[in-house]
Amino acid sequence: MGLTGGDGVRDGDLQESILGLENLRTCFYTQGAVVRAVDGISLEIRSGEIFGLVGESGSGKSVTALSIMRLISSPGEITEGRIIFRGVDLVELSEEEMRRVRGDKISMIFQDPTAFLNPIMKVGKQIAEPLTLHRGLGGSAARSTVLELMGLVGIPDPEQRIDDYPHQLSGGMRQRILIASALACQPDILIADEPTTALDVTIQAQILDLLRELQRELGSSILLITHDLGVIAEMCDRVAVMYGGHIMEVAETESVLGAPQHPYTAALLESLPQLSQSKERLQVIPGNVPSAVTPPPGCRFHPRCSYTEAVCIEKMPSLVQLADGRQVACHRCI
């Protein structure tokens, strides 16, 4: 099937939007309270790019990813907005239609590979599942593609490993199995939600290198979710900063990390000594992450922001595009 022989990203494709979220809102209805996990976000992922989504714990990153995959289940619900993938609104698709997209055109890998591998199924068979489901491949054709995929994701001795069970492999190798399965059908978009957080540091670097290499070879776009700005700096073309279910800033990675405009992005950067310019001691952003049930009025960040003015409490700033092309949701920047 020529997995490595693809023509990758063509120059003309680079600016093409492949996935657009338009005012996406996802809530959970729990014990009388409404958790506004994703509170009206808009963003665009372009063909062939690695797009980072960064933010503190609870900011809504995973719920965004699961919404795109249409994997939000009761008591959660996408209540508003559109998810436009190649011109089609995924929110409108039936479950049956969505099953055809999932694992084929859009696939996802998660933080903990163990939770998503079946302990009693051979890993080769698990990699083959999307090939069987979406391509109708079976028998020796599936087996040879699986062997090729295992080689592609750097699993040594695929012939030996194909009949292993997950527990016979290390954490890093298990994550490679999941990546192989996610890439089996050469998706247009791979969503990677904290794909290396559960792995130790050297293995983390190997898996990130692998993702970058595969993205170049296969030309897929990647939505890379992380709370680690170091990973963003290493990997991403553009990045969106999420806070309290909102997008605060979107731009090229160098702009966001080099000259952040939103006070929250600046505060996040200052809390990381290895990325900030100064060698001064670690800053902690004062205050707590906002409640997703009773969020503060106006800008979600205003209770923790050093620049808060009356307007920040009264009115939620919308995401606007600045002259340099970046988007920021802050009254100060308009």
Ligand X SMILES: Nc1ncnc2c1ncn2[C@@H]1O[C@H](COP(=O)(O)OP(=O)(O)OP(=O)(O)O)[C@@H](O)[C@H]1O
Which positions lie near ligand X, rule CB under 6 A? 28, 30, 35, 37, 55, 57-63, 76, 227, 292
Q: How far apart are CA 170 and CA 1, in angstroms?
A: 28
Residue with tokens 């192989």: 180
Rounded-to-integer distance, Cα 198 and Cα 312, Å: 38
Pick the closer one to ligand X by CB: 35 or 127: 35
Report the distance separating Cα 69 and Cα 160, nearest Å. Answer: 33
| C-beta of 73 vs 94, nearer to ligand X | 73
Give least dist CB 171 to ligand X, A. Answer: 18
Q: Which lies closer to Mg ion via its Cβ, residue 61 or residue 174?
A: 61
Question: Residue for token digits 């988007």?
Answer: 327
**Least distance from C-beta 108 to ligand X, angstroms?**
13
Least distance from Mg ion to the Cβ atom of residue 190, Å:
16
Task: Give the separation between CA 223 and CA 161, rounded to whole angstroms.
Answer: 29
How many residues make contact with Mg ion (CB under 5 A)? 2
| Cα separation, 321 vs 264, whole angstroms | 17
170 binds, among ligand X, Mg ion, none (CB under 5 to 8 A by kind): none
Burial of 277 (0-12, 13-18, 19+ CB in 10 A): exposed
What is the distance between the alpha carbons of residues 223 and 325, in angstroms, rounded to a whole number? Answer: 20
Provide, rounded to whole angstroms, the least separation between the CB of residue 174 and ligand X: 20
Separation between Cα atoms, residue 277 and residue 26, nearest integer Å? 37
Under 8 Å between Cβ of 229 and 257:
yes
Answer with the entry of ligand X, Mg ion, none that 59 interacts with (C-beta below 5 to 8 A by kind). ligand X
Does 62 bind Mg ion (CB under 5 A)? Our answer is yes
- Which one, 61 or 176, has the nearer CB to ligand X? 61
**Nearest-CB residue for Mg ion:** 62
Binding partner selected for residue 58 from ligand X, Mg ion, none, CB under the kind-specific 5 to 8 Å limit: ligand X
For ligand X, give the closer residue by CB, 22 or 77.
Answer: 77
Residues of this chain that bind Mg ion (CB under 5 A): 61-62
